[in-house]
Copies of this chain bind each other. A is one copy, B any other.
């Protein structure tokens, strides 16, 4: 088993539009995979509304509990964009206009009058925050402490994250192998439970599916140690064969 400490993250998806069902979140899956690549494990995600007390309380609870907190959404120019000011309040620091962020906005807009008071809100952030570049629409995200504040629009969020991810310190990356079997999971359940008990250094997950008219399950083995993952994968394959199935490993 790896001795490296697990580095954890929590994602806060901020926005009424996700909770109302108007918008399908696309950021959780992207960030889960990207964080995993750099050895950061997403342990929880919360979708919360644009409500000041909720955002402040959640940021404070989660930044104490996880190594990193990433927020998406609520950093645009309109009245319902309150993430930045809530993060300032959560940290108990002044909410100030960042000169570099302001300069970027002024360079971005063609005419001086386009840089109105509302758009300048996008240059306001907690005092002492570090900017996170936004190559798409210029208004930056930021980081303060272990809290990383990103845009909600997936294309912008992804560009911000890709430019910033090298600054995050991860632990051992999670390795994953997937065995697909056309055997109902209820038949394999005893064997899978034994495989899990015999290989406590990994997580074995069973995800049933119905494909080509047949019931089956994807059996996922996850862990940070390549040999432990390999051994558990063999145990999973043996379980499939014991129920008359032919295990196929997903690439």
Contacts and interface: CB of A to CB of B under 8 A. Distances in A.
Interface in A158-207: 174, 176, 185-190, 192-193, 196-197, 203-207
A42 B19 contact: yes
Interface stretch (A83-91, A111-119, A142-150): A111-119
Summarize A's interface: helix, strand, loop or mixed: mixed
Interface stretch (A26-34, A95-103, A125-133): A26-34
Instruction: Report copies per complex.
Output: 2
Given A24-B29, A47-B45, A80-B204, A17 B189 contact: no
A78 interface: yes
Contacts of A187: 114, 116
B48 A44 contact: yes
Interface of A: 16-25, 28-33, 36, 42-50, 54, 76-80, 114, 116-119, 121, 153, 174, 176, 185-190, 192-193, 196-197, 203-208, 220, 222
A144 to B, nearest CB: 24
The winner among A23, A28, A186, A220 for most chain B CB atoms within 10 A is A186
A20 B222 contact: yes
Contact of A176 (B20, B23, B28, B190): B20
Contacts of A204: 79-80
B43 A46 contact: no
A70 to B, nearest CB: 13
A250 to B, nearest CB: 11
B186 A119 contact: yes
A20 B118 CA distance: 37
Nearest to A219: B78
8 contacts: A20-B33, A20-B42, A20-B174, A44-B49, A45-B46, A45-B47, A79-B192, A116-B190
